[in-house]
Amino acid sequence: MLHLDIAQRRRVAGQNPKERRAIVCAVTNDHAFALGSLIAGFRRYNSDFSGAFVAFHDGLSLVQQDQLRALWPNMEFRPYGADIIARRFGKKADLSRVQAQFSPMIFAKFELPDVLSDYDKCLWLDVDMLVQGNLAEIWNFDRLAWRPLPEGAFARRAEVMEEFADLRGDGSLPLLNGGVIGMARGGRITTADLYAMAARLLAQTNTTSVDELAMYFLAASNGVPVHLLDLRFNHPVVAPGARNAVIVHAIGPDKFWNASPLQLAFPEWARNQLEWQGERYAGPQRLAHVQAATPDLALKAARNRDYWQQIMPIFGRIFRFACRWICKPMARACGSFIQQRHSYA
């Protein structure tokens, strides 16, 4: 278990409750830029936040850590590599199915109960997010907080729900999106419990959402009260109204750093990136051929789409004409020919 040293503990213990709070994230060393951009956006709108940032990482260099501290001086770094994950799960757990789809850093949210040995409240944030407003209201929870998924989410996980029906409590608790999770002391959920539940899910089901489902089943079975967050505190980037959200979440493969349409729609992410003094994303760009991020190519792409939208109705009319005057007569002729052949037989 990784904790603050004695001097840090004394300092935290002497703080008022608003200062004994932490934003918790997890990042691989090749995505330090994503955490840097998240912090840059957060501090622009949250100057009233006096707590800490806790970053779980798999090998951030001392230079990268200093670059992040330049954005938020009150930062704590906790190692979270493959060896730690394997030790938490045990030798028998097969993580390959999940790691084929997600970063192993998703499991760092299981460390939240241990983080609470040093803080009163913590807030987990995925690093593929853009903060667009003040988060003061989000802290108004007693034990747990998350943004609920729509009711249809249960149907998509019907087999898992049936397998673990005895852990759903009265069934009223909605499923969660794990991008934003608030947790306070006294929630009756431990770090060891979360890893154990995730290991059961891996062994007994085919699901890959083990991080979210482990949190859900433990909260439901232990009767932990959950404060349901408004959509604006974890707003999917593809859902209407993202521009007015406090936190926009780039769920899926298209991120603010690698998807041209998002770079065009949310230029403030690039502004946040300018405040990060470390290495920036240099990988491939997605969807640039469809919606480019630069003004010249974006205009060209828009004109191409406009051209095709204008001529598609023409093609539609031609297609309907062909079906009426060519395809149908040909079908009747073929039918007659087949009938004649059958009559000769």
pLDDT of residue 34: 98
Convert the pLDDT of each residue in 266-310 to its tens digit: 999 999 999 999 999 999 988 877 766 666 666 666 677 777 678
Quote the CA–CA distance of 15 and 20 in Å, as a whole number: 6
What pLDDT does residue 297 have?
65
pLDDT band, residue 118 (cuts 50/70/90): very high
What average pLDDT does this structure show over 167-196? 95
Residues 208, 42: Cα–Cα separation, whole Å: 30
Q: How confident is the model at residue 319 (pLDDT cuts 50, 70, 90)?
A: confident
Helix segments in the chain, DSSP class H: 6-13, 32-45, 62-71, 82-89, 96-99, 112-115, 152-156, 158-163, 191-204, 210-221, 260-265, 268-275, 295-322, 328-344
Query: According to the model, what pLDDT value does residue 223 have?
Result: 95
The per-residue pLDDT for 7 is 47
- Per cent of the chain over pLDDT 90 is 69
Q: What are phi and psi of 93, to 5 degrees?
A: -70, 130
Find where tokens 């898992």 sit: 160
Nearest to 269 by CA among 132, 146, 121, 108: 132
Question: Average pLDDT in the 170-195 region?
Answer: 95
Residue 133 φ/ψ, nearest 5 degrees? -170, -175
Q: Is 280 exposed, middle or buried (0-12, 13-18, 19+ CB in 10 A)?
A: middle
Identify the three-state secondary structure at position 185: coil
pLDDT digits (tens, 9 = 90+) for 224-274: 999 999 999 999 999 999 999 999 999 999 999 999 899 989 999 999 999
pLDDT interval class at 321 (50, 70, 90): confident
Q: Which residues contact 152 (CB under 8 A, 6 or more apart)?
A: none
pTM higher than the cut 0.85: no
Q: Cβ neighbours of residue 71 under 8 Å, at least 6 residues apart?
A: 36, 39, 40, 43, 275, 276
